Amino acid sequence: MGDLKEGTADLSDYIRENLPEWKEKFQDFAETAAVKISEVIDKAKEFAGAIRDNWPQIRDTAIRVGAAFIILRGALLALQVVNTVAAAFRTFRAVLLAVRGTQIGLNLAMMANPIGLIIGLIAD
């Protein structure tokens, strides 16, 4: 129990000796913080005032930017549709080429058949 009393007394003495210095440091910090907070508030007021004073131009600019964004989105959507249609036409063209090649192969097979040759001679 004696050690606890001594420790408490030492702590009490330490706090008593250093309290003025801590108080001074805290006051310096508080003053600095108050100055910085005041500066931030002043800048925020200036910014709000600039927005208020220039609101018609800001509003018009915001509307134009929004409209440009909507137009861009529309253009990108149209481009996507065009790309999809172009891909469909490329696929259709490839299918037509395959059908044409198949038809040529069928025609060659029909001509190679003797019955096809006889029919071809009679038809001419």
Structure tokens at 37: 């907070």
Sequential pLDDT tens for the chain (124 residues): 567 778 788 888 888 888 888 888 889 888 999 999 999 999 999 999 998 899 989 899 999 999 999 999 999 999 999 999 999 999 999 999 999 999 999 888 877 778 867 777 787 6
Q: Is the Cβ–Cβ distance between 58 and 51 less than 8 Å?
A: yes
Helix ranges (DSSP H) in 54-113? 55-112
The Cα–Cα gap between 102 and 99 comes to 5
The Cα–Cα gap between 78 and 72 comes to 10
Q: Which residue has the tokens 């108050």?
A: 34
